[in-house]
């Protein structure tokens, strides 16, 4: 099975981890990488193109509600 484009290699993930400011062990990084790959697989379900009506993130807009 082809590797999805969104999956990054553990080595690249390790580099990113170094820039987070977090103190992480190698075990942490391996575990977090697995979690990250899982999240990226989720993201493959997201539409590639968002329609204009999908722009708002604000819950109240759908409800016809305006926050004060």
Partner 1 sequence: MSDLATLTIAKASALLARGELKAIDITEACLARIEKFDARLNAFVTLTADQARAAARQADREIARGHRRGALHGIPIGIKDIYETAGVRTAGNSHLLVDHVPNSDAETVVRLRAAGAVILGKLATHEFATGAITPDQPFPPARNPWNPELQPGGSSSGSGTAVAAGFCAGAMGSDTSGSIRNPAGWCAVSGLKPTYGLLSRRGIFSLAPSFDTAGPMAWTAEDCALMLDVLAGHDPLDPASARREPVAYAQTVHKPVTGLRIGLIRHWYAHADGATADIVRGVDEAVMVLRELGCILEEIIMPDLVDYQACARIIIGAEAHAIHRRALNEHPEKFGYTTRRRLQLGAFLTAEQYVAATRFRRKLQIDTDTAMRGFDLVMTANQYGPPDNFENPPVFHFLDKPPLPNPFNVTGQPALTVCCGFDADGYPLAFQLAGRPFDDATVLTAGAAYERATPWREKRPSL
Residues 5-44 that bind partner 1 (CB under 8 A): 13, 16-17, 20-24, 28, 31-32, 34-36, 38-39, 42-43
Identity of the residue, 1 or 49, whose beta carbon is nearer to partner 1 in the bound complex: 49
Cα–Cα distance for residue pair 3/60, rounded to 1 Å: 38
Cα–Cα distance for residue pair 23/9, rounded to 1 Å: 20
Q: Shortest distance, CB of residue 68 to partner 1, whole angstroms?
A: 6
Angle between helix axes 10-18 and 26-43 (nearest 10 degrees) is 110
First to last CA, the chain: 51
Binding residues for partner 1, per CB under 8 A? 13, 16-17, 20-24, 28, 31-32, 34-36, 38-39, 42-43, 45-47, 50-51, 53-57, 59-60, 62-63, 65-68
């Amino acid at each position: 099975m082809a590797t999805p484009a969104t999956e990054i290699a553990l080595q690249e993930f390790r580099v990113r981890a170094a820039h987070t400011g977090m103190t992480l062990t190698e075990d942490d990084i391996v575990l977090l990488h697995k979690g990250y790959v899982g999240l990226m697989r989720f993201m493959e379900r997201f539409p590639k193109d968002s329609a204009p009506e999908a722009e708002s993130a604000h819950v109240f807009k759908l409800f016809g509600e305006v926050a004060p």
